[in-house]
Amino acid sequence: MLSSDTLNTPALPASPRRRRSRSVIGAAFGLFVALAGAGTWLATRTHIVDLGNERQLSESGLLQQWQDGAVLVMIRHAERCDSAPGPCLGDPTGITVSGSEAAGRVGLGLQQLGLAGADAFSSPKLRTRQTAHFLLGQDTTSQDWLETCDKQFADQALARKRPGHNLVLVTHNGCIDHFARQQHVPGGERESGYASALFVSVNAQGKARILGRMNEPDWQRVLASSGK
């Protein structure tokens, strides 16, 4: 049986070694929590991958999604005549001769993917209509919302995506930027080059997921290596 003196004896303070051990454990736990939080943030942060990389193209699932008619692709117009030194097609508000050739190369890439059953629209601006013509080999229907490029752009684009039909939109950098912004893409990754294409998968519930971007010079090389 313990004596009253034993019961009333105050607890001895922890040794310096034990205090250091507790401090190290606490610091390690705090670091673990911080790293876990950072890992979650990085996992959920949206990045636009480069589909000009064969491995990333394969991992993106684009080719299968395209076969399923589940893709929305936004293509920026080709090189503007009023901001480039090269010769114009004609009207100075349109695209350059070099831009028309680039659009034609992208068009060949789209044909390799397959355009049967795809819907296509362009902005009413001359530069987008010209680009669409060289992309698709024919004139396309133009719609004002593809020029407006306001905060409603993403919703308007998704509303026109029909199940089982890929959707090709020839538009402007500002419109593509609004779409990427809604998908929480960081600012430094939202800039679209001339005739570049941003591919987005759209599921049966209308939810969008960015698959990646294909820049104009990469189309033929990448699709040839993928067997398309």
CA neighbor of 78 nearest in space, from 215, 221, 224 = 215
- Name the more confident of 17 and 173: 173
Question: In this structure, is residue 87 part of a structural domain?
Answer: yes
Task: Render pLDDT for 58-107 as a digit per residue (tens, 0 to 9).
Answer: 999 999 999 999 999 999 999 999 988 889 998 999 999 999 999 999 99
pLDDT at position 21 is 52
Determine the residue type at 217. P
State the pLDDT confidence band at 227, using cuts at 50, 70 and 90: low
> Hey, what are 184's tokens?
């929480």
User: Does residue 28 have a pLDDT over 70?
Assistant: no
Please report which helix (H) or strand (E) contains residue 201, including its range.
Answer: strand 197-202
> Hey, what are 28's tokens?
């390690």
Angle at the Cα of 86 (from 129 to 90), degrees rounded to 5? 45
The Cβ of residue 141 has, within 10 Å, a number of other Cβ atoms equal to: 11
Do 199 and 112 share a structural domain? Answer: yes
Do 184 and 124 share a structural domain? Answer: yes
What are the backbone angles phi and psi of residue 173, rounded to the nearest 5°? Answer: -55, -40
User: Does residue 40 have a pLDDT over 50?
Assistant: no
Question: What pairs with residue 74 in β-bridges?
Answer: 169, 198
Question: In this structure, is residue 84 part of a structural domain?
Answer: yes
Task: Render pLDDT for 208-223 as a digit per residue (tens, 0 to 9).
Answer: 999 999 999 998 777 7
d(CA 125, CA 99) in angstroms, rounded, equals 15
Question: In this structure, is residue 86 part of a structural domain?
Answer: yes
Computed over every residue of the chain, the mean pLDDT equals 83
Do 208 and 97 share a structural domain? Answer: yes
Do 200 and 120 share a structural domain? Answer: yes
Please report which helix (H) or strand (E) contains residue 142, including its range.
Answer: strand 141-142
pLDDT at position 223 is 72
d(CA 39, CA 183) in angstroms, rounded, equals 19
Do 141 and 38 share a structural domain? Answer: no
pLDDT at position 187 is 77
Expressed in percent and rounded to 5, the helix, strand and coil fractions of the chain are: 50, 15, 35
How many separate domains does the chain show?
Answer: 2
CA neighbor of 123 nearest in space, from 132, 111, 115 = 132
Q: How many residues does the chain have?
A: 228
Residue-range definition of the domain harbouring residue 36: 13-44
Question: In this structure, is residue 159 part of a structural domain?
Answer: yes
